[in-house]
Amino acid sequence: MTEQQQRIVFFVSDRTGISAEGMGEALLEQFENVKFKRISEPFIKTAEKAHELVAKINQMAEEQEHRPIVFSSVANDEVLEIVKKANALHISFFDAFLGEMERELGMTARHEVGSRFQNIERYDARMEAVNFTLNHDDGVSDKDFKQADVILVGVSRSGKTPTCLYMALQYGIRAANYPLTPDDLDSNDLPRMLKPYKHKLFGLTIQPERLHDIRQERRPDSTYSAISTCRNEVEEAQAMFRRHNIPFTNTTSKSVEELAVSILQACNLKRRF
Amino acid sequence: MTEQQQRIVFFVSDRTGISAEGMGEALLEQFENVKFKRISEPFIKTAEKAHELVAKINQMAEEQEHRPIVFSSVANDEVLEIVKKANALHISFFDAFLGEMERELGMTARHEVGSRFQNIERYDARMEAVNFTLNHDDGVSDKDFKQADVILVGVSRSGKTPTCLYMALQYGIRAANYPLTPDDLDSNDLPRMLKPYKHKLFGLTIQPERLHDIRQERRPDSTYSAISTCRNEVEEAQAMFRRHNIPFTNTTSKSVEELAVSILQACNLKRRF
């Protein structure tokens, strides 16, 4: 039996490093048989911090069997040049592409940390969307369904709330949600509150076994969590979606990210920032 | 006066495209004088979809003065090869780095869409963190402050809730929050509920003028939103943070992402997935 390879991975940025982590993770998951140990190094904005970081990377390189991998998104050239001297495989997103983009666009990049995130309009749109979502969680109030960009519909615990919050935070989308109650499900009709907003509805469904597991955590061995209840509710919810031509998706093996992007696409929603 | 250059930008992925968008945006913001029009093309998983997309890109290239820019994270080689034929500047994150990583790691990449997001443990950690945050929003209950990874403290509308939710969704961190009331601020002491958890506290402060604007939206021309109230509250909150050695940051010009990453770093918190 061969031992599994281990690698230290650094995510380095002069800002949050969120984009370097996102793309770095997408690349790392292409390698299944390596154990990666991750270290995030955000806000490396000065030469001094960069030198400290290089010392840390070099020490890791000496202690480990293999040198580390560094994913960086560093706009500041001075910092980037220092980080590049570290003993590591350096995947530098800015180095790789900025030159090509400069040639294509016929101009020089600013090579400085940008202000994308320091944007009051963006912050406000986000706050508004988050507040909207919190105020319309679990169908607490229908008075502003008309202001919603989308209304997620599904049985209790089918994944509506995290999906709504993700859409609010990530895209500024005003996502309300409406939990289908047993009464709603017994009827052949759409719930009264939803009727005026049929074009905004998107359904979430889930595997009954998974729903059972989730509900067991909340109220163990109750009617609510019984597998028979879960089966019936899911079946009736799906029948409702089909009867009224409501687009829907199964959340069971999907991440919140995948759900959000699928809903954006299906409902033709535009991000607000 | 020269006209501002306009460019169509495509974000293409066989998955959500979130990582390609994140890194693509980081690169785009290095160019200030171009107007970029963004088109997201997630879930391009088949040769058929890829051909349709190429036709769309090529049409755009003909209609526009300049060819589009395509940022892609496509793991599937067949799809990637088709997309590369489009008339565009193609920034392919997988093409650029997978080969280099394969050589470094001494193995071949899987070249297929991974399962990073389709992970029940990750989903559960996230659900738990989101539920935790929702149940502990605005200090509704202190009974589980002991289960919190961090407790954000600040005056009303200083940005606690969106930051908590972002940390929950993005890192699975259990972030509670506690709003400082005028009564809390009048005292020299820490609020009673917080005393046992001093080591978990992180303070948020904000420019009084900005706080005034935010509160005006909520309760126009009230004592609550008056600039003098905002000034006093912020001053007293900062004095409290200093008196009790609570680390704190000013949210005014920071994004939710920056706040989350700063708090993770300052409190030495580890992501739960």
With beta carbons under 8 A apart, name residues in chain A contacting B121.
none
Question: Do A259 and A159 touch, CB atoms closer than 8 A?
Answer: yes
Q: Which residues contact A17 (CB under 8 A, 6 or more apart)?
A: A11, A40, A41, A42, A73, B261
Asked whether the beta carbons of A225 and A212 are under 8 A apart, the reply is yes
Answer whether B169 sits within 8 Å of A115, measured CB to CB.
no
Q: What is the pLDDT of residue B3?
A: 73
In the prediction, which pLDDT does B184 show? 95
Query: Does the residue A170 lie in any domain?
Result: yes
- Tell me: do A158 and A97 sit in the same domain: no
In this prediction, residue A118 carries a pLDDT of 52
Whether A59 is in a domain gets the answer yes
Give per-residue pLDDT as tens, B40-92: 999 999 999 999 999 999 999 999 999 999 999 999 999 999 999 999 999 99
ipTM of the complex in this document: 0.89
Whether residues A129 and A235 fall in one domain:
yes
Q: How far, in Å, CA of B120 to CA of A254, rounded?
A: 9
pLDDT of res. B210: 94
Each residue's pLDDT, cut to its tens digit, for chain B (273 residues) gives 467 899 999 999 999 999 999 999 999 999 988 999 999 999 999 999 999 999 999 999 999 999 999 999 999 999 999 999 999 999 999 999 999 999 999 999 998 876 654 567 777 888 889 888 888 776 666 667 889 999 999 999 999 999 999 999 999 999 999 999 999 999 989 999 999 999 999 999 999 999 999 999 889 999 999 999 999 999 999 999 999 999 999 999 888 999 999 999 999 998 887
Q: Are residues A164 and A238 in the same domain?
A: yes
Query: B91 φ, ψ to 5°?
Result: -95, 100
Of B105, B118, B126, the CB nearest to A162: B126
List B residues 182-211 in contact with A (Cβ-Cβ < 8 A).
210
Residue B261: inside a domain: yes
How far apart CA A251 and CA A207 sit, in angstroms, is: 8
Which residue, A9, A12, A109, A8, is CA-closest to A51?
A: A12
CATH of the domain at A101: 3.40.50
The pLDDT score that the predictor gives to residue A225 is 96
Non-local CB neighbours of A7 within 8 Å, separated by 6+ positions: A34, A35, A36, A37, A64, A66, A68, A69, B105
Which residues in B lie closer than 8 A to residue A261 (C-beta atoms)? 16-18, 40, 42-43
Closest Cβ opposite residue B30 in set A23, A110, A170: A110
| CB-CB contact of B6 with B65 (8 Å) | yes
Query: Cα(A117)–Cα(A169) distance, rounded to whole angstroms?
Result: 13
Low-confidence residues of chain A, pLDDT below 50? 1, 117
**Contact: A23, B27; criterion CB under 8 Å:** no
Q: Give the three-class secondary structure for A193.
A: helix
Helix (H) / strand (E) containing B235: helix B227-243
- Give the chain A residue whose CA is nearest to the CA of B76: A30
| Total domains, chain B | 2
**The predicted structure's pLDDT at residue A180:** 95
CB A109 within 8 A of CB B31: yes
Residue ending a domain, among B40, B70, B105, is B105
Same domain? B190 vs B64 = no
Asked whether B35 and B6 are in contact (CB, 8 A), the reply is: yes
Query: Has residue B221 been placed in a domain?
Result: yes
Does A115 reside within a domain? no
A23-61 pLDDT, tens digit per residue, is 999 999 999 889 999 999 999 999 999 999 999 999 999
For residue B21, being part of any structural domain is answered with yes
Q: Give CA–CA dist B266/B91, Å, rounded.
A: 35
Phi, psi (rounded to 5 degrees) for B152:
-85, 135
3-state secondary structure of A182: helix
Same domain flag for A133 and A211: yes
The pLDDT value given to residue A15: 92
CA–CA distances in Å: residue A111 to residues A32, A76, A94, B202, B215: 35, 5, 9, 33, 37
Residue A12 to residue A51: CA distance in whole angstroms: 13
Q: Which of A56, A79, A105 is the last residue of a domain?
A: A105
Out of B105, B137, B168, a domain closes at B105
Are B125 and B242 within one domain? yes
B265 touches chain A (CB under 8 A): yes
B61 touching A, CB under 8 A? Answer: no
Give the model's pLDDT for residue B140: 62
Residues A208 and A138 in one domain: yes
In a domain, A45, yes or no: yes
pTM of this prediction? 0.89
Q: Which domain holds residue B242?
A: 120-266
A215 in contact with chain B, both atoms CB, cutoff 8 A: no
In this structure, are A146 and A237 located in the same domain? yes
Statement to judge: residues A247 and A138 lie in one domain: yes
Nearest Cα neighbor of B123 from A256, A241, A186, A105 is A256
In a domain, A271, yes or no: no
The pLDDT value recorded for residue B112 is 86
Check whether residue A196 and residue A249 sit in a common domain.
yes
Nearest CA in chain B to A26: B19
- Are B253 and B134 contained in the same domain? yes
Query: Minimal CA–CA distance to B14: which of A5, A261, A122, A127?
Result: A261
Provide the chain B residues 125-144 that lie in CB contact (below 8 A) with chain A.
Answer: 126-127, 130-131, 134, 137
Got the DSSP string for B33-72?
Answer: TEEEEEEEE----SHHHHHHHHHHHHHHHHHSSS--EEEE
**Nearest neighbour of B93 by CB, restricted to A16, A23, A261:** A23
Dihedral of CA B190/B192/B193/B196: which sign? positive
Note whether A168 and A238 are same-domain residues. Answer: yes
What pLDDT shows up at residue A223? 95
